[in-house]
């Protein structure tokens, strides 16, 4: 496994040098970063795996670790499924009104309210007319 990672890192560094010679500096720097990340990441992962192997060589620790690993896997699986469904529900387009509702909305948009002519002013001195009441 480590040999494959180092082979990919060397390939990325080779491509980075070719990109640098051609003049594509941003691509060269990105490929070089990927190569260095692969080498450093594989060294850290290798050290971590070796440490875990030596720690879990004991039989009591192995049983507890297996239970914790199963619980951790289930928790991550539930989290990923929940995140996936939440993301899909957010990306869903808003619900459009039904055809019956759309026709009602279209009819409301077409009809404009008619303005009623103002009632003629009365010349009488009726109290209701003076204070804006109806006759």
pLDDT in tens, 45-81: 888 888 878 777 777 777 787 888 899 999 999 999 9
The average pLDDT across 116-132 equals 59
User: How far is it, in rounded angstroms, from Cα 104 to Cα 102?
Assistant: 5
The average pLDDT across 100-110 equals 64
- What pLDDT score does 47 carry? 87
Altogether, the residues listed in the chain come to a count of: 135
- What pLDDT score does 50 carry? 86
User: How far is it, in rounded angstroms, from Cα 43 to Cα 5?
Assistant: 10
Of 4, 5, 3, 30, the closest CA to residue 16 belongs to 30
The average pLDDT across 11-22 equals 91
- What pLDDT score does 75 carry? 94
Give 24 or 101, the one with higher predicted confidence: 24
User: How far is it, in rounded angstroms, from Cα 61 to Cα 65?
Assistant: 6
pTM value is 0.40
Only one residue has tokens 């004991």, namely 58
Of 27, 25, 35, the closest CA to residue 5 belongs to 35
């Amino acid at each position: 496994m480590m040999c494959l990672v180092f082979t990919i890192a060397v390939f990325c560094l080779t491509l980075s040098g070719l990109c640098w010679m051609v003049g594509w500096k941003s691509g060269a720097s990105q490929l070089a970063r990927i190569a260095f990340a692969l080498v450093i990441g594989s060294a850290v992962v290798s050290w971590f795996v070796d440490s875990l192997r030596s720690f879990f060589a004991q039989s009591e620790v192995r049983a507890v670790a297996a239970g914790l690993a199963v619980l951790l896997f289930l928790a991550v699986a539930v989290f990923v499924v929940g995140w996936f469904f939440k993301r899909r529900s957010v990306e869903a387009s808003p619900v459009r009104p039904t055809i019956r509702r759309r026709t009602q909305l279209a009819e409301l948009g077409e009809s404009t309210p008619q303005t009623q002519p103002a009632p003629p002013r009365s010349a009488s001195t009726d109290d209701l007319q003076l204070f804006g009441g109806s006759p």
